[in-house]
Amino acid sequence: MRYVIQIFPRKAEAIPRTWRTRAFRQSSEGRSGRKTRGRDPGDTAWQRPLPTDRRCAPGPIGRERVSSSSALLLELGALLLVLSILGVIASRLSLTPVPLYLLAGLVVGEGGLQLVPTSGSYIQASAQIGVVLLLFMLGVEFSSDEFAESLRRHVPSVVVDGVLNAVPGVVAGLVLGLDAISVLALAGATWVSSSGIVARLLADLGRLRNPETPAVLGVLVLEDFGMAIYLPVLAVLGAGGVWWHALVGVLVAIGALLVALLASRRWGHRIGGVLAHPDSEQFLLRILGITLVVAALAELVDISAGVGAFLLGLSLTGEITTRTREVLTPLRDLFAAAFFLAIGLSIDPADLLPVLPAALALAVVTAVTKVLAGVYAASRDGVDRRGQVRAGTALIARGEFSIVVVGLVGSAADPRLGPLVAAYVLILATVGPILTRFADVPLRQRAVDPSADRSALERER
């Protein structure tokens, strides 16, 4: 709280003598600054401000706080109404609302109409919770056994994915004349798909139980595991550190990942017993609290918070998964909207125009290479051609990790890198979901009911 109101006055003996003397003089002469007859010319204590002046200020103390609170409520309320309208429009067009949320953030952000000066920090914090809940709820839909099998099968897939999508970033950086750190950062930005956007797409389009989905998840999580190795190296090089600092970071990240996977498979069934409670409020507080704590611990050891939440979701089995969907799905959708909005808010349209041709060319190339990577991953699971295309288009979107990479290198990178990656992310985060939707047109002629996916999942479990 910005202002502190002192309710109980201090005892007189606890106040320094000079402050009491000045307070007495001010009470007799007012605050006009007139000299008091008989004052010692050498006494300068009266020139020092009283520490209690601000605390004891009259009426206007709370006005700024009240004004900022009303502005925050007004901005958030207006944003929610706008997102609701955009969601209805997307539903009428049979689209996921993700592209519209991204564009809304671009329009109302600092580079646009500047309509959220007060709520910007709140949206950014909500965005972090959004990506955590998206990945947690994605993990809830699968068992740890089937996912572990998928991971073992898709190590070659993520290698192919890395080569196909990181190399274009390296080539583009060299062609543009970027320095070595910027080239390395651009390779990471073009490699990794957005786990948050892909998770939302799979849920919105009713594909959680599609045959290609395990391949998509295998690639996503292995990409995040790769980022646990890549990010410490990039951070050390960007800060000008020595090689052994990067090595220590990599070893810590790998060790933490192995421990998390082991704990999720061996002791995960006990977590449900601890979290279960007949009261819905208690259950919500427990499940949300443990999810955020696990996500925070994952970030402390340089693992993606989303990966930590995903592993926690995998560990839940049985009836608790049904209750988790019931209580957390509305929260997931709310905070996910903040996540997509925050991506748009982080981009200044004025910075995009000079780099737009390069970003567009890079987006076209890496959209094709990501589709090829998805096709290869799905083919390893024996998925038909249509499912392979769905898997490839689902992986096109880039998002949070690409932006994190740029922020990690900071001022050590070429000044053109930030706008280039921002334009690149905006293009693929907007176009990717649309391509994903229309890659499935023949199949979607028969209605897809997400609740049917959940019912089938419960029967399997």
Expressed in angstroms, the distance from the first to the final Cα of the chain is: 49
pLDDT of 105: 85
Q: Which of 402, 364, 378 is nearest to 191 (CA)?
A: 402
- Gyration radius of the chain over CA positions: 27
Grouped pLDDT means (10 residues each) for the chain, 461 residues: 35 40 42 45 48 46 60 88 90 80 83 75 88 84 70 87 95 93 92 87 87 90 80 74 70 71 69 81 91 87 75 79 88 88 81 90 96 94 92 90 75 83 89 86 45 44 40
Residue 342 corresponds to which tokens in the numbers above?
A: 């925050």
Q: Say if 401 falls within a structural domain.
A: yes
C-alpha span between 167 and 164 (Å, rounded): 6
**Sign of the CA dihedral 141, 143, 144, 149?**
negative
C-alpha span between 320 and 61 (Å, rounded): 49
Q: Say if 53 falls within a structural domain.
A: no
pLDDT of 146: 65
- The 3-state DSSP composition of the chain as helix, strand, coil percent (nearest 5) reads 75, 0, 25
pLDDT of 37: 46
* Domains in the chain, number: 1
Q: How far is CA 349 from the centre of its chain?
A: 21
Report the CATH number that the domain containing residue 252 is assigned in CATH.
Answer: 1.20.1530.20
pLDDT of 415: 85
Q: Which of 136, 165, 145, 94 is nearest to 335 (CA)?
A: 136
C-alpha span between 185 and 289 (Å, rounded): 33
Residue 48 corresponds to which tokens in the numbers above?
A: 């020092």
Q: Identify whether the C-beta of residue 435 lies closer than 8 Å to the C-beta of residue 454.
A: no
Domain of 127?
Answer: 117-460
pLDDT of 241: 66
Q: Which of 233, 188, 229 is nearest to 366 (CA)?
A: 188
Q: Say if 336 falls within a structural domain.
A: yes
Q: Say if 95 falls within a structural domain.
A: no
Residue ranges of the alpha helices (H) in 176-212?
A: 180-191, 195-204
Residue 248 corresponds to which tokens in the numbers above?
A: 């220590």
What one-letter code names the amino acid at 283? Answer: F
Q: Say if 409 falls within a structural domain.
A: yes
How far is residue 358 from each of residues 33, 352, 361, 400, measured CA to CA in Å?
64, 10, 5, 20
Diameter of the chain measured on Cα atoms: 99
Q: Say if 98 falls within a structural domain.
A: no
3-state SS assignment for residue 3: coil
C-alpha span between 317 and 28 (Å, rounded): 75
Q: Identify whether the C-beta of residue 101 lies closer than 8 Å to the C-beta of residue 340.
A: yes
Query: What is the pTM assigned to this prediction?
Result: 0.68
Q: Which of 286, 436, 294, 302 is nearest to 370 (CA)?
A: 436
pLDDT of 444: 42
Q: Say if 387 falls within a structural domain.
A: yes
35-67 burial, b for 16+ CB within 10 Å, e for fewer?
eeeeeeeeeeebeeeeeeeeeeeeeeeeeeeee
Q: Say if 45 falls within a structural domain.
A: no
